[in-house]
Amino acid sequence: MKVRNLVSKRYKETPADCIIASQTLMMRGGYIKPVGNGIFTLLPITKRITAKIENIIRQEMNRIDGQEVLFPVVMPADLWRKSGRYDSIGSELLRFSDRSGADMVLGMTHEEAAVQLMTDVADSYTQYPFMIYQIQTKFRDEPRCRGGLIRVREFTMKDAYSFHTSQEDLERYYMRCYEAYNRIYARCGVPEVVAVASDSGMMGGKVSHEYMLLTDVGEDTIVLCRSCDYRANMEAAPCLIENEPGQAAPLEKVDTPNVKTIEDLCAFLKIRPQQTCKAVMYQRNADDSFVVVFLRGDLDVNETKLRNYLRAEIHPAVITEASGIHAGFTGPLGLPEGVTVIYDRSLEGIEWFATGACEEDKHYIGFNIARDVGQVTYVDVAKAVEGGICPVCGKPHIYTSRGIEVGNIFQLGTRYTESMDMTYVDQDGSLKHPIMGCYGIGVGRLAASVCEAHRDDYGPIWPISIAPWHVEICSLRADQPEVAEASQKLYDSLTARGIEVLWDDRAVSAGVMFSDADLFGVPVRVVISPKGLKNGTIEIASRDKSMKEIKPVEEAEDFVVNYVKDALAALECTL
């Protein structure tokens, strides 16, 4: 492929709304073009990358006995009504009517379709276990699209569904898939992707993992341990901390005029946030009823854990005068009737703290829940914090990092097979619901994440396994016959040996040619110039700057082929 024929255009300027580096580079390099909010066309250079990623995914899915199918993008709403998700999922699920007025949805995931497909087909225990997968377009009506292909509304996803007759079998297969995912990321050139325990969210099921590419621009917060392998998504991480019980003292109501925040309270009383109890107010979406969470003053509420505990959608409370709540002065005593009260585990065993008195400009000091409230249930609804205790090794070595989710795996259990009544006949003749797992990877997001992780200021540095081409030939002064001839010869011989070559023979300056090459991010760059040829040499360098060689013209071909083959083999890929 010659650069002059490539359907794409490079830009010097950063487009206005780019917020992260990979987005900037992919826009400037002519990789993607926005069509609508969170909707992109992939230009040829990106399609070449995603095709290679899809191929690696396909190989690894086949290796763990996956069978590829193709589910529809458009599905009848009835399928989603059966599982209950038509009503339980919000407006991310795009709903519409077809010409006959039938309710339809755009697939954002395909558990329902997988169960519909296998019902009546996998009806005997002898057919289990099995896994089916697809690589298909999905649509999720995302309210906050951002970062180019990182968070979009339409995307290509590999989604896989496994079916089992026992939890043990699911767990065995789950581990095979867990390893397959590690291989996929390693082969795509991002072995730094880590699996973290996660919250299962709308998918149902209990055990689940997210694969995270750790990077500052990630949307997710990951909780990790410096002393062991513990890793979890913030949404799922327990908050374990060392409590300081303090010294019990009589309960005392004190004047705290206009002292509404923990910061103000600590300054006013000359105490530390750990000696206070914070109140955070929410309302249930369904009926606007109030929920108050009490937790140690230095902590924050983990809303995912709170939602899971309440089994209800919530939003931050809007406090009106009529509510009888004194914002800034809320505490465990004196709340209006009907407020759901939740005590976070961080308050357990504390003998002395300051908290609101449910009166304007008043706080309590010396509050002691066991004494002043009585027996309460403590729940874990706080966010894990830096220096917290690791739930695995027990050391106070928790820290946090940002990450982009590039895949996830779930143990679904019988959530879907029960609600949609899929059964099989077991060995003993009884009817049972199969146990499911599901496994997803967003292809476009993975491509963008690799770019985010592997780049410099001038462009992406594509791992050779997913690079759009293996080699770029830059012919400086291709108008000179000896340059044109040597370039053509190398292009032809490399191509004949299966190397994918991008060839730039445009009549542009070396500066333009090299800055374009940086944006293409092709792993191996070959420079053929009048000066080099005069010395009988060709320059060969890697995009990541780890290799730069001046080779005699006649050795260049073999050198490049071997370099490419070795680099591919290191990622378990071949020509």
Q: How far is the CB of 411 from its own copies (least distance, A)?
A: 20
Q: How far is the CB of 144 from its own copies (least distance, A)?
A: 11
CA-based nearest residue to 119, from 433, 427, 414? 433
Residue 428's contacts (CB-CB under 8 Å, 6 or more residues apart) are none
Q: How far is the CB of 134 from its own copies (least distance, A)?
A: 8
CB 392 within 8 A of CB 317: no
The pairing of beta strand 524-528 with beta strand 471-475: parallel
Q: What are the distances in angstroms from CA 257 to CA 106, 252, 334, 354, 526?
A: 55, 16, 18, 15, 73
Closer CB to its own copies, 43 or 461, in the complex: 43
Single-letter code of the amino acid located at 568: L
Q: How far is the CB of 143 from its own copies (least distance, A)?
A: 7
Q: How far is the CB of 137 from its own copies (least distance, A)?
A: 5
Closer CB to its own copies, 113 or 384, in the complex: 113
Q: How far is the CB of 353 from its own copies (least distance, A)?
A: 43
Closer CB to its own copies, 43 or 406, in the complex: 43
Closer CB to its own copies, 82 or 402, in the complex: 82
**Binding stretches for its own copies (CB under 8 A):** 4-9, 30, 33, 35-37, 39-44, 46-48, 50-51, 65, 67-76, 79, 91-92, 94, 96-100, 102, 104, 106, 113, 116-118, 120-122, 126, 130, 132, 136-137, 139, 141, 143, 153-154, 156
Can you list the positions of beta strands (E) in 360-470? 362-367, 378-379, 398-413, 424-425, 431-432, 435-442, 455-456, 459-460
Q: How far is the CB of 82 from its own copies (least distance, A)?
A: 12
Closer CB to its own copies, 295 or 443, in the complex: 443
H or E segment at 268? helix 262-269
Edge-to-edge strands, sheet with 378-379: 314-316, 277-284, 290-296, 340-344, 378-379
Q: How far is the CB of 183 from its own copies (least distance, A)?
A: 21
Q: What are the distances in angstroms from CA 328 to CA 25, 360, 368?
A: 46, 8, 19
CB 164 within 8 A of CB 436: yes
Closer CB to its own copies, 92 or 252, in the complex: 92
Closer CB to its own copies, 14 or 137, in the complex: 137
Closer CB to its own copies, 137 or 261, in the complex: 137
CA-based nearest residue to 500, from 478, 516, 522? 522
DSSP code for 146 = B
